[in-house]
Structure 1
Amino acid sequence: MTLTVRDILDFESLYESELIAGMKGLQKEVTGIMVMEAPDIEAWGNFGQVCLTSFFALENLSLTETKKFFIKANTIGIAAFIVKLDRLVKKIPAHFIEECNVNQIPLIKIQKETRYEAIILSVMETLINKNKVLLDRYYMISNQFTNMALREPRLKDILALLEDLIPNPVSLFKNNSIIYRSINLELGDFHVSKSTKLAKKRYTNFEYQRQVVSHTDLTAQHYSQLSVEIPSLGTDVYRLIIHELNQKTTEDDFMAIENTVSSLQMELLKKYALQQQNLSHLNEIINDLIYARYQTEEELAEILHFLNLSKKDNIHLVIFDLSVESNRKKVKREDSESILNTLSNYISIRWSKFVSLVKKDKIIFLICNSDNDQGFSEKITVAINSFTSLSYYSQLSFNIGISNKSNVTDLHLANKQANNILKILKLTGQKNKIVSYKDLGIFQLFLETNNIDELIKFVPEKILEIQKTKPELNKTLRVFLDHNQNFKTTAEELFIHPKTAKYRIERLIKLANINFENPEELLQINIGLRLLEFIDTTL
């Protein structure tokens, strides 16, 4: 229980005392007492301190200096002033009384015969006894939580113990969704109208907010809550709420709450470590499957059993690449895991059977389905668009590669297909593209080469020479062919004048001797221009 100024007025040593000013500050906490000898209160004052004085040290202060002194005292948190008048100071100045009222600091006058020693002894004895009681209670509470920790408790076991120790109901939230509700009261949604950060005290280690809320399940009346975030790893945010429906949280209650938060933190850290261990093992198993790192049919059967897959499953492998250059900061693993969790929700709406993993800045899905390649590509595009419509991910840059449908024994080939798509997109500097292997058309033939740079041999020599010296001409030619040799639409896409487009084509005809009437020649040029987009032409 907190010792207040009102409490010390009941001490026998202050029996004949008189409260002169600062009546509104009687609930101030008392943490110590001392004799004031000088006005430099910022040098020796402490929160909750009661100051014994004859006011002789303040007698020569001007009105301005007196005002500053009491402002400092209020800022520090001085609990009260006890003044004894004697032969040096006969009367408490009126402006002293006024400042005590303004700053709500109780001013207590004692008789000349009252001994300072008696007051100091009674205050310190009470504080020492109070601290002993607090220490005993802390030891008792700490023992209860320690014994419970040895039994490997669930989160609700920890919260149930807290409810036995404090008079108010509690709730636990995960990412703003309630996961534990007090059995003492049905608490529904609430609206926070005000939130104030509490100053840390000597017995608190965590950050607390006091919130004024209204519960929709109760009445329109406002209630007070104590809210504290549980420090944890990962992307999930846990918050403990103390519903102060019965009484405000006391110093004793804080002891129980502090132990509860520490216990919850420990359990959440254990839970996170176990999840990461399981996730790491799962990722290894999936990697063994998509890289064909199994030697026998028995090993493959074990992998499929662990992943709840079957040899009969038809699977599309989808790689979500977050390493595109337009992402300002390097994507962290926890960011990728958060994206995976959100993406999985959209995947699960359409397909019930899939596995996934995070690999650096890539997210890989193995999705079991009965769709053909085109149908699957359309469905996954709808799922991705739904995901990117969320405001939180609307600025995210990515590329997506989708393999052909594969059986489980050919997933290593599907993995290669999806990665080759991403390699092409990266080399061409594209972003926010969703490309399936079937979309590549004839370029699938070129991707079968082990060295993508060997593709340069399929580019006509005259086009390759122009690329090295006048790449803007090749770009114009590509757009010109894409628009059925129309100068106007070519100019519009390139943001140039039609005359400029015509001039460039005429130069190409002269430099490369291109015959636009020969369809076979145009086909070779078209293929060569597209290959130039994803090979290193500096070789």
Structure 2
Amino acid sequence: MAITVRQALSIGGLSQAVLLAGHGGLDRTIQCVDVLEVPDSSGWLRPHELVVTTCYAVKDNAEAQLNIIRVMAQANSAVLAVKFGRFIGTVPPEMCQLADEMNIPLLNIPNNVSFMDITLPVMTAIINVQSLQLQYSEEVRHKMTRISLEANSLTPVAETLAELIEHDVIICNAEMQYLARAGKECTVFYQFFPDEVENTRHAGLSNTIIGWAASGKRTFAFFPIHVRQRRYGYILVDLQEPLTDLHSIAIEHAITVAAVQLVKEEAVVQAQKSYQRDLLEDLISGAFKSKELAFGRAEALGLSLNKKQIIIIIDIDNFSGFIERTQLNDEESAAWLKNQLASIVSNCVHRIDWRALVVQRSDSVVVIMPAPLHDHGSNGQGAMRAILQQLAQNIQKKVSEECQDVTVSIGISSLIDDPLAIAPQYQEVRSAIKLTRKMQGEGRIAFWEDVEIYSLLGQLGQPLERFYDAKLGQLDCPAVKNREELINTLKVFLECQGNSVETAEKLFIHRNTLRYRLQRIEQILGLDLSPPEERFTLWLAVNVRALLKGKR
């Protein structure tokens, strides 16, 4: 709330002053006026101050005259006005040179201009500007308060601010995704590059960022929206025309109202998540005694359980190991990773069906969604599996892009006809992830129907071990040279259904090398690999090896 030196030069007695030096400081702001007639200026000067003096106390001390300018620069004072003709006489060139270096405007006041001719008009102008700004601020506050009480979105905030400052306005979340926009060219969609967005996280209260659109680029001033040291988003204002002090007042009020609205919306979202989490816990614990009760709870949350459902669980691989490896020891960092995963899953799943239930649960995200296809015949089953496979792959791809060094394993259930069957099938999906990790490693996609047989086999205990020992025990023996190589060769050979050419290509070995290895395997096991029934039992034994490894 001030005037600039440039503006002050047309007010009262300053209109007769001559600007000697310091032209680079003409846009400094003046907030107060004082007369300086002491030999030592240190401790007397203030920021944004117009200093008027005759230099009487330092008329014979050239160094003290220069020191006035130095102290003004340190204090961020605005302008120095001197009656040089009163006691000093000629203007010292050294003062002009230093004023240019420090960008402190240096004025020469004619002898016939009194100090009162300067101080009174300038202070009056400052008070008038402050009064205008206070009045404007009060008007803006009334408008923004009404919006805060009545609006249920950020759109009225953007529209009101755009109207007040006559600039295009965009309100974004912390990831620079549009939440609201308004103005003459509000239909143009601008993209902000990730590197520039990241730089905004470390910026001060305001800065600029480039937005790109098909019609060209545009520079925006951005203003962070903070609540309790948390950044909720930004208000972006186009800079085709410069912003004024009055614009800044309107923007500050808009930031406050936007913050309130974002916090309100977050509270609603958190409440919704809490209700959804309660629903999930009741479903997977088997708390519902009737389908009708489950249907009613789901419908109250805008979800539908009266159709065939699919359960998908996305689980962070070795979460504790990741935390230790990356030294994310604080709860905030771990929570960020979990929330980021939940956001990724939610965005991917809701593109397919907005009615899906997506809940963060410990180190996992659990999804219960309507089956993607209505036709569940043989053709429909294949198409549905392809959709779910693509969804899982998209989630894994986004996680690798946005969460460095993080992988997820994903389990997918078979079709669920009855919401009361969700509880056992949830445990089956958990089991599918665990089995697939044990047999194939982390970062895999597991359909329950693909691992169901291994789940059944894993429950056999000692009979399964006896079966394995009888079929592969002689080969899987520490005394056998290169046993891991031979077992892997046998596994690939069986997966290729006995096709030697395909097997050699997959193993990147010559067919003669493959023939030699297969002969060794037959010799060690004392059997012929040709009969299909023999290959089937060996295939089964090779695949249950991972199930037994942890027990031995």
Q: TM-score range by the shorter chain?
A: 0.7 to 0.9
Return the letter of the residue paired with 1:258: E
1:162, 1:256 within 8 Å by CA — same for their partners in 2? yes
1:280-314 per-residue CA deviation (whole Å, 9 max, x = no partner) reads 21232233234422123432342454464355x33
1:249-290 per-residue CA deviation (whole Å, 9 max, x = no partner) reads 222222221111111111111111101211221232233234
Q: What residue in structure 1 maps to residue 89 of structure 2?
A: 90
Which secondary structure state, in structure 1, belongs to the residue aligned with residue 29 of structure 2? coil
Q: What residue in structure 1 maps to residue 200 of structure 2?
A: none
| Correspondence list, 1:124-139, <5 A | 124=123, 126-128=125-127, 130-139=129-138
Which secondary structure state, in structure 2, belongs to the residue aligned with residue 92 of structure 1? coil
Task: Assess, with a 3 A threshold, how the Cα gap between structure 1 residues 469 and 216 changes in structure 2: closer, same or farther.
Answer: closer
Measure the CA separation in 2 of the matches of 1:165 and 1:33: 32
Task: Assess, with a 3 A threshold, how the Cα gap between structure 1 residues 503 and 181 changes in structure 2: closer, same or farther.
Answer: closer
Q: Are residues 1:340 and 2:334 paired? A: no
Which secondary structure state, in structure 2, belongs to the residue aligned with residue 242 of structure 1? strand
1:318, 1:403 within 8 Å by CA — same for their partners in 2? yes
Which secondary structure state, in structure 1, belongs to the residue aligned with residue 304 of structure 2? coil
- 1:475 is aligned, of 484, 492, 506, to 484
| Correspondence list, 1:67-82, <5 A | 77-82=76-81
Measure the CA separation in 2 of the matches of 1:410 and 1:108: 87
Q: What residue in structure 1 maps to residue 431 of structure 2?
A: 420
Report the alpha carbon displacement of residue 353 of structure 1 after superposing the two structures with TM: 6.4
Measure the CA separation in 1 of the matches of 2:231 and 2:342: 11
Return the letter of the residue paired with 1:399: S
Return the letter of the residue paired with 1:360: S
Return the letter of the residue paired with 2:384: F
Which secondary structure state, in structure 2, belongs to the residue aligned with residue 358 of structure 1? strand
| Correspondence list, 1:92-491, <5 A | 92-112=91-111, 119-120=118-119, 122-124=121-123, 126-128=125-127, 130-173=129-172, 178=178, 180-182=180-182, 188-189=188-189, 207-210=205-208, 225-231=220-226, 238-244=233-239, 248-303=242-297, 305-306=299-300, 308-309=303-304, 311=306, 313-324=307-318, 332-344=337-349, 347-348=352-353, 354-365=356-367, 366-368=369-371, 369=373, 370-371=375-376, 372=378, 374-388=382-396, 392-393=401-402, 396-408=406-418, 409-428=420-439, 430-440=441-451, 442-447=453-458, 449=459, 459-460=468-469, 475-484=484-493
Report the alpha carbon displacement of residue 230 of structure 1 after superposing the two structures with TM: 3.2
Report the alpha carbon displacement of residue 93 of structure 1 after superposing the two structures with TM: 1.8
Measure the CA separation in 1 of the matches of 2:9 and 2:218: 32
Task: Assess, with a 3 A threshold, how the Cα gap between structure 1 residues 16 and 436 changes in structure 2: closer, same or farther.
Answer: closer
Task: Assess, with a 3 A threshold, how the Cα gap between structure 1 residues 355 and 51 changes in structure 2: closer, same or farther.
Answer: same
More helix by share: 2
1:63-117 per-residue CA deviation (whole Å, 9 max, x = no partner) reads xx96x99688557643211123367633322232234345543211124576557
Task: Assess, with a 3 A threshold, how the Cα gap between structure 1 residues 416 and 229 changes in structure 2: closer, same or farther.
Answer: same
1:213, 1:225 within 8 Å by CA — same for their partners in 2? yes
Measure the CA separation in 1 of the matches of 2:442 and 2:76: 59
Task: Assess, with a 3 A threshold, how the Cα gap between structure 1 residues 526 and 473 changes in structure 2: closer, same or farther.
Answer: farther
1:31-64 per-residue CA deviation (whole Å, 9 max, x = no partner) reads 23342757887x76554222334553894449xx
Q: What residue in structure 2 maps to residue 531 of structure 1?
A: 544
Return the letter of the residue paired with 1:90: G
Report the alpha carbon displacement of residue 4 of structure 1 after superposing the two structures with TM: 1.9
Measure the CA separation in 1 of the matches of 2:480 and 2:2: 81
RMSD: 5.0
Report the alpha carbon displacement of residue 216 of structure 1 after superposing the two structures with TM: 6.8
Report the alpha carbon displacement of residue 347 of structure 1 after superposing the two structures with TM: 3.5
Measure the CA separation in 1 of the matches of 2:95 and 2:480: 86
Report the alpha carbon displacement of residue 236 of structure 1 after superposing the two structures with TM: 10
Return the letter of the residue paired with 2:428: Q
2:432, 2:448 within 8 Å by CA — same for their partners in 1? yes
TM-score (norm 1): 0.74
TM-score (norm 2): 0.73
Unaligned runs of 5+ in 2: 198-202, 327-333
Q: Which moved more, 1:336-345 or 1:438-447?
A: 438-447
Return the letter of the residue paired with 2:31: T
Q: What residue in structure 2 maps to residue 202 of structure 1?
A: none
Which secondary structure state, in structure 2, belongs to the residue aligned with residue 150 of structure 1? helix
Task: Assess, with a 3 A threshold, how the Cα gap between structure 1 residues 427 and 442 changes in structure 2: closer, same or farther.
Answer: closer
Task: Assess, with a 3 A threshold, how the Cα gap between structure 1 residues 214 and 401 changes in structure 2: closer, same or farther.
Answer: closer
Which secondary structure state, in structure 2, belongs to the residue aligned with residue 460 of structure 1? helix
Measure the CA separation in 1 of the matches of 2:154 and 2:483: 65
